[in-house]
Chains A and B, each alone.
Chain A
Amino acid sequence: AQKVTQAQTEISVVEKEDVTLDCVYETRDTTYYLFWYKQPPSGELVFLIRRNSFDEQNEISGRYSWNFQKSTSSFNFTITASQVVDSAVYFCALSSTGAGNMLTFGGGTRLMVKP
Chain B
Amino acid sequence: KAGVTQTPRYLIKTRGQQVTLSCSPISGHRSVSWYQQTPGQGLQFLFEYFSETQRNKGNFPGRFSGRQFSNSRSEMNVSTLELGDSALYLCASSLGAHGKGYEQYFGPGTRLTVT
Contact = CB atoms under 8 A, between A and B. Distances in A.
Interface of A: 31-33, 35, 37, 42-47, 50, 52, 91, 93, 95-108
A39 to B, nearest CB: 9
B102 A47 contact: no
A91 B92 CA distance: 15
A42 B92 CA distance: 16
Given A100-B48, A100-B55, A101-B31, A47 B104 contact: yes
A99 B101 contact: no
Interface of B: 31, 33, 35, 42-45, 48, 50, 55-56, 58, 88, 90, 92, 94, 96, 98-109, 111
A20 to B, nearest CB: 21
A102 B33 contact: yes
Contact of A47 (B35, B101, B105): B105
Contacts of A35: 103-104
Given A45-B90, A52-B101, A107-B42, 16 more contacts: A35-B104, A43-B108, A91-B43, A97-B99, A100-B98, A100-B99, A101-B33, A101-B102, A102-B33, A102-B48, A103-B43, A103-B104, A105-B42, A105-B43, A105-B44, A108-B43
B109 A101 contact: no
B2 to A, nearest CB: 14
A43 B102 contact: no
| Chain B CB within 10 A, most for which of A93, A103, A108 | A103
A95 B101 contact: yes
Contacts of A43: 88, 108-109, 111
Given A44-B107, A44-B108, A44-B109, A101 B42 contact: no
Nearest to B9: A43
A43 B102 CA distance: 22
Given A44-B108, A45-B90, A47-B103, A101 B43 contact: no
